[in-house]
Amino acid sequence: MGRFISNFKLQGDKVIWIIIFLLSIISLLVVYSSTGTLAYKVKGGNTSYFFIKQLVLLLGCYFIIWVTHKIPYKHYSSWANMGLFIAIGMLLLAKIVGVNLNQASRWITIPGIGFNFQPSELAKLALILFVSRILSKFQTDRECQKEAFWKIIAAIGVVCGIIFLDDFSTSALLGGICLMLMFIGRIAAKYLLGTFGAGLGLIIILLIIAPFLPNSFGRIHTVRNRILNFAGIGEKKTDDGRNYQVDQAKIAVVSGGIIGKGPGNSDQRNFLPHPYSDFIYAIILEELGWFGGFGILALYLFLIYRAGSIVRKCDRTFPAFLVIGLSLSIVAQALTNMAVSVNLIPVTGQPLPLVSMGGTSLIFTSAALGMILSVSRSVKEQEELNHAED
């Protein structure tokens, strides 16, 4: 048993591949189950269409993970600045020519193939790369130089500022993860506290004055209404509103019980808006029960545990910061999606990484996992080299 555990621990990259495989299998099962109503609405009852589409996307994601994990992580550091500028350019382009959905210009339609691309997903990856590079570049024996803070805060301000009005939850998650990275990177606490206080104050002011702002001022009205509804002091909504979503999710969670109704036996998929993306965890709890729900939670928690194991073995700062930032991003998004489904936080619209139906989120989550595996591969190669020298 001891030898098995030892071998299991040494093969951290294989463990991460197993987690990816299990999440993708769950994704196929739940997406197929939850898209029946959508298939009848837009595909004439062809219930296999979205299953095949998700399967093709997941196969493409495996290819992305394989390619990105083969690239030495040092290249990602050298591409960080360029990636950030490209991401900012794409975010601005989305504001100008992007597809407007729910009062938000989040998407760019790629001509010819009709694929909708969400630049904020690229921005998350690019900003974490940039922050990791700057933190590693300005490290000293005692602390991180003050210059690093100003470079990072400028990048966060631009990226999160552009995203904020169209996608508050993504902006807040990304900003929070970058602050955590700066804390781990030994940025002075007074700067971090000041930044957090300023950001929180700005959000509170915008929420207070939201009723007096024009409807064209992003989605700040939607954010305010969701927070008020969550607190129980907002307007009750119709079948298209927030209360309906949450109520249907509650029914799904409670009716699933401990062992669930079984795969494909969800009832609430016919009533719950976006059961294949924003509220997919509610469908998982209904069909697979608490056991299935806790099992998926355990997969994400084990992913961040494996990431921590990789970080401890890193002998350089950039790969360590990169793995911390990317793993926190994936797991924080997963926890946010789960918390919304069980009504612990207001509705956010965050998909469940590698499980929810979609394209852009799957692609960049896969790229992030590939980068984590790239660091893991480099660490393993270094360990083998050290053993050979001994």
Distance CA 132, CA 152 (A): 9
Residue type at 205?
I
Distance CA 224, CA 219 (A): 9
What number of other Cβ atoms are within 10 A of residue 245's Cβ?
25
Distance CA 18, CA 378 (A): 19
User: Rounded to 5 degrees, what are φ and ψ at 350?
Assistant: -85, 130
Residue 358 confidence (pLDDT)? 79
Report the pLDDT averaged over residues 345-368: 90
236-248 pLDDT per residue, tens: 554 444 577 888 8
pLDDT band at residue 322 using 50, 70 and 90 as cut-offs = very high
72-85 pLDDT per residue, tens: 999 999 999 999 99
What number of other Cβ atoms are within 10 A of residue 326's Cβ?
25
Spatial neighbors of 267 by CB under 8 A, at least 6 apart, are: 252, 255, 261, 286
Checking if the pLDDT of 11 tops 70, the result is no
Distance CA 94, CA 115 (A): 14
Work out the angle between the directed axes of helices 168-184 and 189-209 (0-180°, nearest 10): 170
22-74 pLDDT per residue, tens: 999 999 999 999 988 888 888 888 888 999 999 999 999 999 999 999 999 99
Residue 234 confidence (pLDDT)? 58
pLDDT band at residue 390 using 50, 70 and 90 as cut-offs = low
User: Rounded to 5 degrees, what are φ and ψ at 96?
Assistant: -90, -50
Greater pLDDT, 157 or 206: 157
pTM equals 0.90
99-153 pLDDT per residue, tens: 665 555 567 777 666 667 788 999 999 999 999 999 999 988 788 888 899 999 9
Q: How many CA atoms lie within 13 A of 220 on its CB side?
A: 20
Distance CA 334, CA 131 (A): 22
Greater pLDDT, 196 or 8: 196
Distance CA 48, CA 351 (A): 21
